[in-house]
């Protein structure tokens, strides 16, 4: 059964327009509460990033959950992975995230965590969608849900982040630039690294409700690179608006993406073992990552794009490390979901143990040249329905033989078709990526 509202990362859209209208979000809270009441404690937590619309959606969700008889803990601004953690530790059955991640402030979204701090299964999402088709029925007054604000939510999460590395680890002597994207980590990430004795230069820590991800954060790593060089820092850490993505910068100003971070974490895991377990990437993961991991003795599998699918494959294979080029990194031995701060701490821990710089640690992986062009489209569509697109993709693949690949995929969160070409030869990459993107534009834009 096809999902009507849920995409690869919850429900997302422009503020005030369906389905991100206040009335729909109120009903979504009620529907989620109705499903929740079948399974457990009748408690939910609600957290948000720093978008101005978060206040509106927080109130709507609280009202909907209360109408279904569900008590809520209000966490305030806190990263998405912090909500996953507190869902577990507060004994809630549901974690609700109000965020559109790396999108601009005029977008927002809702996603849910289970009692275990993991993304909801498709089956539960379909149950919620089924309830959305019904009229709201409020429980009797004596059974209405109550709301309580958790004042120390940020402090609890800070302590959790620090607990994912050795008690003896000190970052003393390291100068770190931390870019919080004016988002949910603004008051948390700098504290984590300072409390581990690093010298921290924070940027993107002045949210005003409308500047989240605006020229800062993990989608603008060049900004961080400039700050690292300016301050002669040892490392740069860039997070997105809700704190579940991580992009890094080494001391030379070179950007270290999610593929390289996965590689570093995988290689660090070998210190306790003679051989590696498996690693999960996605269809977008660089071919260089796959080859480097296989050379080191790891198995490597690709999941569909989306950390939800990476998680599913990790659990299926009983592996622990996986991630996406965009910076969604999973380390299941440390936490249940993608966590930018926790991932950064694992890389810093690898640096401390090896006594090597980030620049040195990433050298074992050689990335294939890759280009991505996002084509904005009028309506969501499978690009391979076009014969013209099929033909140019065949021509590209024949030209690159077995030394390159083409990937076309429709975004699950935005009206885009992503055109990606990867090969040993950058001239071929640029030529075919532009040619394919031009045909996709002509067919669907």
pLDDT band (50, 70, 90) for residue 308: confident
pLDDT tens-digit series, residues 113-169 = 999 999 898 899 999 999 999 999 999 999 999 999 999 999 999 999 999 999 999
Whole-angstrom distance, CA of residue 221 vs CA of residue 226:
9
Half-sphere exposure (Cβ direction) of 158: Cα atoms closer than 13 Å: 17
CATH of the domain at 438: 3.30.310.50
**Domain check: are 169 and 218 in the same one?**
yes
pLDDT tens-digit series, residues 180-226 = 999 999 999 999 999 999 999 999 999 999 999 999 999 999 999 99
pLDDT band (50, 70, 90) for residue 369: very high
CATH of the domain at 184: 3.40.120.10
The answer to whether position 5 is within a domain reads: no
When mean pLDDT is compared over 2-16, 199-213, 300-314, 398-412, the highest value belongs to: 199-213
**Domain check: are 216 and 316 in the same one?**
yes
Mean pLDDT, to the nearest integer, of 80-92?
97
pLDDT band (50, 70, 90) for residue 401: confident
Whole-angstrom distance, CA of residue 261 vs CA of residue 245:
11
SS3 content of the chain, % helix, strand, coil (to 5): 40, 20, 40
**Domain check: are 133 and 251 in the same one?**
no
Mean pLDDT, to the nearest integer, of 247-268?
98
Residue 194: domain span: 157-364
pLDDT band (50, 70, 90) for residue 37: confident
Contact call for residues 293 and 265 (beta carbons, < 8 A): no
Which pLDDT value is given to residue 1? 64
The answer to whether position 3 is within a domain reads: no
Q: Residues for the chain: how many in total? A: 445
Q: What is the mean pLDDT of the chain?
A: 95
**Domain check: are 191 and 69 in the same one?**
no
Active site (catalytic) residues: 101
The answer to whether position 200 is within a domain reads: yes
The answer to whether position 422 is within a domain reads: yes
The answer to whether position 92 is within a domain reads: yes
When mean pLDDT is compared over 4-8, 172-176, 413-417, the highest value belongs to: 172-176
Mean pLDDT, to the nearest integer, of 107-118?
95
Answer yes or no: is pLDDT of 402 > 90: no
pLDDT above 70: percentage of residues in the chain = 99
- Which of 151, 184, 212 terminates a domain? The answer is 151
Which pLDDT value is given to residue 9? 84
**Domain check: are 46 and 72 in the same one?**
yes
pLDDT band (50, 70, 90) for residue 380: confident
Answer yes or no: is pLDDT of 381 > 70: yes
Whole-angstrom distance, CA of residue 101 vs CA of residue 239:
10
Mean pLDDT, to the nearest integer, of 258-276?
88
Q: How far out from the chain centre does Cα 420 lie?
A: 20
Answer yes or no: is pLDDT of 368 > 60: yes
**Domain check: are 359 and 409 in the same one?**
no
DSSP assignments along 383-398, one per residue:
GGG-HHHHHHHHHHHH
Backbone dihedral angles phi then psi of residue 116, each to the nearest 5 degrees: -90, 0
The answer to whether position 75 is within a domain reads: yes
The answer to whether position 335 is within a domain reads: yes
**Domain check: are 89 and 189 in the same one?**
no
**Domain check: are 194 and 255 in the same one?**
yes
Mean pLDDT, to the nearest integer, of 242-267?
98
**Domain check: are 71 and 168 in the same one?**
no
Whole-angstrom distance, CA of residue 257 vs CA of residue 353:
21
Q: Which residue would you say has higher pLDDT here, 274 or 141?
A: 141
Which pLDDT value is given to residue 38? 85
pLDDT above 90: percentage of residues in the chain = 88
pLDDT band (50, 70, 90) for residue 32: very high
Which pLDDT value is given to residue 166? 96
Mean pLDDT, to the nearest integer, of 327-343?
97
The answer to whether position 6 is within a domain reads: no
Burial of 109 (0-12, 13-18, 19+ CB in 10 A): buried
- Which of 339, 364, 389 terminates a domain? The answer is 364
Half-sphere exposure (Cβ direction) of 157: Cα atoms closer than 13 Å: 31
**Domain check: are 121 and 200 in the same one?**
no
- Which of 151, 173, 207 terminates a domain? The answer is 151
Q: How many domains does the chain have?
A: 3
**Model-level pTM?**
0.91
Mean pLDDT, to the nearest integer, of 304-309?
88
> Of the given ranges (49-53, 125-129, 250-254, 403-407), which has the lowest mean pLDDT?
403-407
**Domain check: are 122 and 269 in the same one?**
no
**Domain check: are 348 and 385 in the same one?**
no
pLDDT band (50, 70, 90) for residue 282: very high
Answer yes or no: is pLDDT of 274 > 60: no
């Amino acid at each position: 059964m096809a999902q009507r509202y849920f995409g690869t990362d919850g429900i997302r859209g422009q503020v005030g327009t369906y389905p991100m209208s206040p009335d729909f979000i109120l009903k979504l809270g009620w529907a989620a509460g109705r499903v929740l009441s079948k399974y457990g404690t009748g408690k939910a937590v609600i957290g948000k990033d720093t978008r101005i619309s978060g206040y509106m959606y927080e109130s709507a969700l609280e009202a909907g959950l209360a109408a279904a008889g569900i008590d809520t803990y209000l966490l305030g601004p806190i990263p998405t992975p912090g909500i996953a953690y507190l869902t577990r530790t507060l004994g809630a059955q549901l974690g609700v995230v109000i965020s559109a991640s790396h999108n601009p402030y005029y977008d927002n979204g809702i996603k849910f965590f289970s009692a275990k701090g993991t993304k909801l299964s498709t089956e539960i999402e379909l149950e919620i969608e089924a309830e959305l088709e019904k009229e709201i029925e409020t429980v009797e007054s004596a059974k209405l849900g109550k709301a309580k604000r958790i004042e120390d939510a940020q402090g609890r999460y800070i302590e959790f982040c620090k607990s994912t590395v050795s008690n003896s680890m000190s970052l003393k002597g390291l100068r770190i630039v931390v870019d919080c994207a004016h988002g949910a980590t603004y008051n948390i990430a700098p504290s984590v690294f300072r409390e581990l004795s690093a010298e921290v230069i924070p940027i993107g820590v002045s949210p005003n409700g409308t500047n989240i991800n605006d020229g800062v954060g993990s989608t603008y790593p060049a900004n961080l690179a400039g700050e690292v060089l300016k301050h002669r820092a040892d490392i740069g850490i860039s997070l997105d608006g809700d704190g579940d993505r991580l992009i890094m910068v080494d001391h030379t100003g070179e950007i270290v993406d999610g593929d390289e971070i996965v590689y570093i974490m995988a290689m660090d895991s070998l210190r306790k073992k003679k051989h590696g377990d498996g690693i999960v990437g996605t269809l977008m993961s660089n071919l260089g990552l796959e080859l480097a991991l296989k050379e080191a003795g790891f198995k490597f599998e690709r999941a569909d794009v989306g950390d939800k699918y990476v998680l599913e494959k990790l659990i299926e294979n009983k592996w622990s490390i996986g991630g996406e080029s965009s910076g969604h990194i999973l380390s299941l031995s440390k936490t249940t979901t993608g966590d930018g701060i926790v991932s950064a701490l694992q890389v810093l821990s690898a640096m401390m143990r090896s006594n090597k710089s980030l620049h040195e640690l990433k050298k074992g992986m050689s990335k294939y040249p890759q280009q991505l062009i996002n084509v904005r489209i009028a309506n969501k569509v499978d690009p391979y329905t076009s014969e013209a697109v099929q033909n140019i993709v065949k021509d590209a693949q024949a030209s690159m033989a077995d030394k390159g690949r083409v990937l076309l995929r429709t975004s699950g969160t935005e009206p885009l078709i992503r055109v990606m070409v990867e090969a040993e030869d950058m001239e071929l990459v640029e030529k075919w990526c532009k040619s394919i993107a031009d045909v996709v534009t002509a067919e669907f834009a």
